[in-house]
Structure 1
Amino acid sequence: MRPVDNLHVLAFEALTPPRVLRERYPITEAAAQTVYETREAIKRIMQREDRRLLAVVGPCSIHDTDAALDYARRLLRLAIEMRDRIVIVMRAYFEKPRTTVGWRGLINDPHLDGSFDMNEGLRRARELLLHINTMGLPTATEMLDPISPQYITDLISMTAIGARTVESQTHRALASGLSMPVGYKNSTDGNVQVAINAFLAARQAHSFLGIDQEGRSCVVRTTGNPDGMIILRGSSAGPNYDAETVTRTEQAMRAAGLSPAIMIDCSHANAGGDYRRQPQVWRDVLRDHIASSNAVIGMMVESNLYEGKQPIAADLTQLRYGVSVTDACVGWETTERMLIEAYEAVGR
């Protein structure tokens, strides 16, 4: 008989079950308190019961856990100092959707060499999240793979469904079972309705294929997730954080029976792909929306220790510390100034 199955598969490699990794790096009481309190704060902000600004700030993606901890310590100081006016959540993105090909993130390829040691990637991601949350700093990430959430979601306070996956039934079903608020980004062509549709779909109960804590294939049955927001990230046609788009989005959410809650992504197409424009977008939103729009609840920024980006070199010792290997980011000094500007603006 001629072979007809798995013709393009090289190997199947077993993953460490989620339970084993969670037992190796168990959530601490301090981390659990950070996660619980931040999730509840974000829910109140989305319902406008808490008037603080929500700021999701941090690297486009994490490739160096030492640099990420360095960044987290700096951000924690500001989070504590500003907590009366701003809820600061650190971006901790470990999976990157690619338009064609490229490095797919710490979970997929932690050694940055194409070896795809995903067991090590999951271990590093969980260990880092545990450190950051135990410090008292909450984290946000993008959920991309339907299996990886079982390893890390107890340490995540907010998640996002990205512009390339917001129309995916798999990701809408996944969001329906997540334990934290979810941000749904408009698609890359600027369609906001697909993000609203994703939110509506995720509010419903779903059943989909996944894994349990033992790593066994199973049918995951969910209750639906009522906690969400729309993230405006710009489009191929340009920025979409203008007053008209914000108003249309708010009206569309109300028409769909959703409580309007909108976050502005200051990066990506809203910055025209130029990281140096993020501070201007930030200031525009503070001026035009935060004081006047009841629906705009926060902003997202791609930030790292040092500005710009760098290619992944064959000799990894040549990588510059604290510089992104995916999207270019603003540096720490700029980030600090932006947060101070926001703190002063929301206090007026």
Structure 2
Amino acid sequence: MSGSQLANTNVSLYAEVPTPDEIRLRCPMTARAAETVSAGRTVLEGILDRADHRLMVVVGPCSIHDPVAGLDYARRLRHLADEVSDTLYLVMRVYFEKPRTSVGWKGYINDPRMDDSFHIEEGLEKSRSFLMQVAEIGLPAATEALDPISPQYLGELVSWTAIGARTAESQTHREMSSGLSTPVGFKNGTDGSVDAAINAMLSASQPHSFLGINEQGRIVVVRTRGNRYGHIVLRGGGARPNYDTVSILMTEQALAKAKLAANIVVDCSHGNSYKRPELQPLVMSDCVNQIRLGNRSIVGLMLESHIEGGNQPIPKDLSQLRYGCSVTDACIDWATTERTIRAARDVLKDVLPVRQKTEPRA
């Protein structure tokens, strides 16, 4: 057998993908989009530095599968963001990659046609185009970094990045995070433990060298400076939530022991709502009340929200898909989203400025 045969026993095909530069030429950054992304990163860094008193709220569909409905949602969210901007800073969830426990649709980049045809080259270009349109609306975007190559195609259009519960322990993702240009939220493990996320924050704050690709698609050694804006995201786990006051206090103590800033984002979905979307507003209300009563460490919240509530399976006939309804995790609907965010703003509008004045700088 040849060396090639020995190396590629289980590989059926190598399909070339356009380089990051080629995708950028097809969908170049606009001045308006660049302004939105830059402003978003600056505000989020200010919130983490306690220079901005507002609370970040990362809100939007569990995943993007229909760009038309996604932009419909983005326009609605932009109006709401303007309404609550004195108290809450809204960032739209724009998730294109979905980690799978076993099998299932892996997201818009991997399978944009939702038919197992896996036109990844098409998914990258369409995802970049969607992010560009969201930025031109004036909304900063948040995404989960799952594939370590994708940021070279999309990273310049993202203002906040999540590292998921399944990948926070990954050395590859810790190294990648050390070079990302956004603040990075590391989720606690699926068992509920915060240790992996804290270790990830420590690792990502340091310089690293690793293999990657550059804008021309060449394999290079990437050398990073380290990312000082890592923070923890509590998403529940181990069959229990972890947004309660005791869990928050224990997380604060763990962060202090690691000499990390007490910056906590609470994901109101996933384990914190037992994956029941109707419980997300209750989780958010509880966290808002903790802040009202004196909590200083909760700097952000996350909601999974779409135009229609719930979720749906992917049918063979895609024309049967319900408009504005998730095909991954179940979401709250738009009316509930508006009520929940407006209620948080009403409670916190006079609380957060006072908290910021008494908050010691990290």
TM tier relative to shorter chain: over 0.9
1:244 counterpart residue number? 246
Q: How far apart in 2 are the matches of 1:234 and 1:219? A: 36
1:86 counterpart residue number? 88
Q: How far apart in 1 are the matches of 2:267 and 2:128? A: 26
SS at match of 1:209: strand
CA drift of 1:5 comes to: 2.2
SS at match of 2:215: coil
1:208 counterpart residue number? 210
Give the letter aligned to residue 206 of structure 2: Q
Aligned pair partner of 1:322 in 318, 321, 324: 324
1:173 counterpart residue number? 175
Q: How far apart in 2 are the matches of 1:197 and 1:290? A: 30
Preserved contact between residue 86 and residue 349 of structure 2 (Cα < 8 Å) = no
1:271-325 CA distances to partner (integer Å, 9 max, x unpaired)? 0111111111111111123552111011000000100000000111111010000
1:127-172 CA distances to partner (integer Å, 9 max, x unpaired)? 0000110111110000000101100111000000000000000000
Task: Determine whether 1:261 maps to 2:260.
Answer: no
2:355 counterpart residue number? none
2:152 counterpart residue number? 150
2:19 counterpart residue number? 17
| Structure 1 portions without partners, runs of 5+ | none
Q: How far apart in 1 are the matches of 2:67 and 2:53? A: 33
Q: How far apart in 1 are the matches of 2:231 and 2:343? A: 24
SS at match of 1:195: helix
CA drift of 1:236 comes to: 2.1
Preserved contact between residue 59 and residue 93 of structure 2 (Cα < 8 Å) = yes
CA drift of 1:50 comes to: 1.0
Give the letter aligned to residue 80 of structure 1: D
Distance 1:211 1:342, change over 3 A: same
1:97 counterpart residue number? 99
- TM-score, scaled to structure 2: 0.94
CA drift of 1:221 comes to: 1.1
Q: How far apart in 2 are the matches of 1:206 and 1:23? A: 29
SS at match of 1:98: coil
Give the letter aligned to residue 288 of structure 2: L
1:66 counterpart residue number? 68
Distance 1:240 1:196, change over 3 A: same
Q: How far apart in 1 are the matches of 2:71 and 2:33? A: 15
CA drift of 1:209 comes to: 1.4
Aligned pair partner of 2:47 in 42, 45, 48: 45
> Which structure 2 residues correspond to residues 175-194 of structure 1 after superposition, within 5 A?
175-194=177-196
Give the letter aligned to residue 143 of structure 2: T
Distance 1:191 1:13, change over 3 A: same
Task: Determine whether 1:127 maps to 2:129.
Answer: yes
Identity %: 52
2:142 counterpart residue number? 140
Give the letter aligned to residue 291 of structure 2: H
Preserved contact between residue 311 and residue 325 of structure 2 (Cα < 8 Å) = yes
SS at match of 2:286: helix
Q: How far apart in 2 are the matches of 1:289 and 1:344? A: 13
| Structure 2 portions without partners, runs of 5+ | 351-362
Q: How far apart in 2 are the matches of 1:261 and 1:201? A: 17
2:162 counterpart residue number? 160
* RMSD after superposition: 1.0
Give the letter aligned to residue 29 of structure 1: A
Distance 1:42 1:314, change over 3 A: same
Q: How far apart in 2 are the matches of 1:345 and 1:23? A: 46
Give the letter aligned to residue 222 of structure 1: T
Distance 1:290 1:47, change over 3 A: farther
Preserved contact between residue 138 and residue 157 of structure 1 (Cα < 8 Å) = yes
1:195 counterpart residue number? 197
Number of matched pairs:
348
CA drift of 1:75 comes to: 0.1
Q: How far apart in 2 are the matches of 1:137 and 1:40? A: 13
1:76-96 CA distances to partner (integer Å, 9 max, x unpaired)? 001112111111000000000
Preserved contact between residue 172 and residue 201 of structure 1 (Cα < 8 Å) = yes
Q: Which moved more, 1:25-34 or 1:73-82?
A: 25-34
